[in-house]
Amino acid sequence: MSWAFLRDLLSGVNKYSTGIGRIWVAVVFMFRLLVYVAAAENIWKHEHDEFECNIKQPGCENVCFDHFFPVSHIRLWALQLIMVSTPSLLVIFHVAYRENREKHQNQKLYRNPGKIDGGLLCTYLISLILKTGFEIVFLVLFYKLYNGFKIPRLVKCDIKPCPNIVDCYISKPTEKMIFLYFLVATSCLCIVLNLGELSYLIFKYSIKCYLKRHVKKQQ
Amino acid sequence: MDWGALHTILGGVNKHSTSIGKIWLTVLFIFRIMILVVAAEKVWGDEQDDFVCNTLQPGCRNVCYDHFFPISHIRLWALQLIFVSTPALLVAMHVAYRRHEKKRQFRKGDQKCDFKDIEEIRKQRFRIEGSLWWTYTSSIFFRLIFEAVFMYAFYFMYDGFRMPRLMKCNAWPCPNTVDCFVSRPTEKTVFTIFMIAVSSICILLNVAELCYLLTKFFLRRSKKAGNSKQQPNHENKEETKQNEMNELISDSCQNTVIGFSS
């Protein structure tokens, strides 16, 4: 019970997505989930042990680490992945509801229960808006919590019980910064894909509606 | 044997749940179990190693850690999740018993049994009525009790939901009052509040499901009482249709593709 659950969820979503939606699933799976599990987790694994302060005062390192990393990057990244994948469940639930309705009434109510039209289109658009919203919220959270996306080598700390201003050194700052930029870049790419899919769906169904009305008027 | 086993067990129960029950199960798996395994366990991973006390006295750190953390948050959450998932087994057992009875009837060649083969019995989905209604409602009631008990236990043991940075300890063998520092207190507070919030959402979902089941029960009873007075006519057919629609709405999301076995 771990990231495999999310992988199964994403594979389920893929069936009912548009072409851009499938690219989004591939990006999330390959460039975010896989990178997280295979690489990023190990970089942040010993962040607390390897955080060193130039002082022997017991408790000073703990307190300084807690001050500079209220919520670790890697936990925020994990939460972001989970929250961003969850809105797709709305679409899965809606399709399952449609299929269940057809089964109960023993007749074909929809041309294809998985086709994005009618109520399912609204659900899909809502899920896209929620996904984009979550991405933006987490990027803003990252920016606000860590004063930009930089990870300095040295931080100065003077919180009790540290007796004076103490130098503290963060482990692997460059590697962490590279992966942080990678996270931000893939987030932005996913936002662009979501917005693109939103525009495409709205445009497609507006044209459809317009043509229908046009044809009706001509008749 | 891990959380995946729980997923397999509860997935079978999912088929016989109401739609609110299915939402509850989704929240349980994604926002509680998954967060616990993927994030929270790592935050609490180094809790004893990085619990530092301002003393060189051997044993003082151990004793102080044990005094302030009789049961770690992570273990309490794991217990809570197991206890909260267990009442669903009552429903699973009841369904299994009913299936067993139907199979017995089928094998005897009972004419009441209108299934064509054993496979159909295995795949049949039981409606929540009769004795299954009582089992299902009791399981929700127990879930609520367990959630409330664990939330109270958390609050009582840790004096609220905040993790302090500094704790003062004077348990023997510490020579005097000693400052002890907890590792990652802010991150732990954030995750504690998150888990409490999701627990509260689960409690609300359970209360909503209980209300829904009770309403359905009383409506059914009043309809039965009403029907027994009326003569059968076309109005009954419409009522039956309305009942079917209500059933459809409550039985939605049956084939959710999140790995729940059918």
Q: Is residue A8 part of a domain?
A: no
Residues A67, A68, A70, A72, CA torsion sign:
negative
Residue A58 forms contact with B (CB below 8 Å): yes
* Strand ranges, E, within A36-179: 52-53, 154-157, 166-169
Q: Is residue A6 part of a domain?
A: no
Which residues of chain A lie closer than 8 angstroms to B7, CB-CB? 1, 5
Nearest-angstrom CA–CA distance, A111 and A78:
38
Which CATH number characterizes residue A165's domain? 1.20.1440.80
Comparing CB atoms, the residue among B53, B187, B256 nearest residue A58 is B53
For a pLDDT cut of 70, what percent of chain A falls above it? 99
> What is the DSSP secondary structure assignment for residue A59, as one 8-state letter?
T
Q: Do B165 and A62 lie within an 8 Å CB cutoff?
A: yes
Comparing CB atoms, the residue among A15, A49, A100 nearest residue B252 is A100
CA torsion B245-B251-B253-B257 (nearest 10°) is -140
pLDDT of residue A196: 95
Strands A166-169 and A154-157: antiparallel
> What is the DSSP secondary structure assignment for residue A163, as one 8-state letter?
S
For residue A217, pLDDT beyond 60 = yes
Report the length, in residues, of chain B.
262
Report the length, in residues, of chain A.
219
Nearest-angstrom CA–CA distance, A181 and B16:
46
Q: Do A1 and B190 lie within an 8 Å CB cutoff?
A: no
pLDDT of residue A195: 95
Q: Is A96 in a helix, a strand, or coil?
A: helix
Residue B103's alpha-carbon distances to A112, B31, B92, B112, in angstroms, are 36, 38, 16, 12
pLDDT of residue B100: 84
Q: Do A78 and B29 lie within an 8 Å CB cutoff?
A: no
Q: Do A5 and B7 lie within an 8 Å CB cutoff?
A: yes
Residue range A41-60: average pLDDT? 90
Nearest Cα neighbor of B165 from B154, B149, B181 is: B181
Q: What is the CA radius of gyration of chain A?
A: 23
Higher pLDDT, B115 or B170: B170
pLDDT of residue B119: 65
For residue A97, pLDDT beyond 70 = yes
For residue B261, pLDDT beyond 70 = no
State the count of interchain CB pairs (< 8 A) between A and B.
Answer: 130
Residue B1 forms contact with A (CB below 8 Å): no
* Cβ proximity of B109 and B161 under 8 Å: no
Q: Do B46 and A12 lie within an 8 Å CB cutoff?
A: no
Nearest-angstrom CA–CA distance, B207 and B214:
11
Q: How many domains does chain A have?
A: 1
Which of B10, B27, B37, B165 has the most A C-beta neighbours within 10 Å, making it the best mutation to test the interface with A? B165
Residue A38 CA to chain centroid, in angstroms? 17
Residue range B37-65: average pLDDT? 89
Strand order in the sheet with B166-169: B52-53, B178-181, B166-169
Domain that holds residue A196: 15-218
Which of A49, A56, A75, A86 has the most B C-beta neighbours within 10 Å, making it the best mutation to test the interface with B? A75
Beta bridge partners of A118: none
pLDDT of residue B111: 57
* Cα of A63 to nearest chain B Cα, Å: 7
Residue range A124-141: average pLDDT? 94
Q: Is residue A163 part of a domain?
A: yes
Residue B147 CA to chain centroid, in angstroms? 8
- The pLDDT mean for chain B works out to 81
Nearest-angstrom CA–CA distance, B148 and A109:
44
Q: Pick the range with the lowest mean pLDDT from A191-200, B174-183, B221-230.
A: B221-230
pLDDT of residue B250: 44
pLDDT of residue B107: 79
Q: Do B4 and A12 lie within an 8 Å CB cutoff?
A: no
pLDDT of residue A130: 95
Q: What is the pLDDT of residues B2-22, one digit of tens each?
A: 777 777 777 777 777 888 888
Residue range A96-107: average pLDDT? 80
Which of A32, A67, A94, A97 has the most B C-beta neighbours within 10 Å, making it the best mutation to test the interface with B? A97
Q: Is residue A45 part of a domain?
A: yes
CA triple A185-A186-A189, angle to 5 deg: 90
For residue A190, pLDDT beyond 90 = yes
Which residues of chain B lie closer than 8 angstroms to A59, CB-CB? 52-54, 166, 179-181
pLDDT of residue A38: 85
Which residues of chain A lie closer than 8 angstroms to B29, CB-CB? 1, 5
For a pLDDT cut of 70, what percent of chain B falls above it? 81
In 3-state terms chain A splits into helix, strand, coil percentages (rounded to 5) of: 70, 5, 25
Which of A45, A49, A60, A71 has the most B C-beta neighbours within 10 Å, making it the best mutation to test the interface with B? A71
pLDDT of residue B122: 65
pLDDT of residue B112: 56
Q: What is the CATH topology of the domain spanning B18-107+114-218?
A: de novo design (two linked rop proteins) (1.20.1440)
For residue B251, pLDDT beyond 50 = no
What global pTM score does this model have? Answer: 0.81
pLDDT of residue B114: 58
Residues 17 through 46 of chain B touching chain A, CB cutoff 8 Å: 26, 29-31, 33-35, 37-39, 42-43, 46
Confidence of residue B117 (pLDDT cuts 50, 70, 90): low
Residue A163 forms contact with B (CB below 8 Å): no
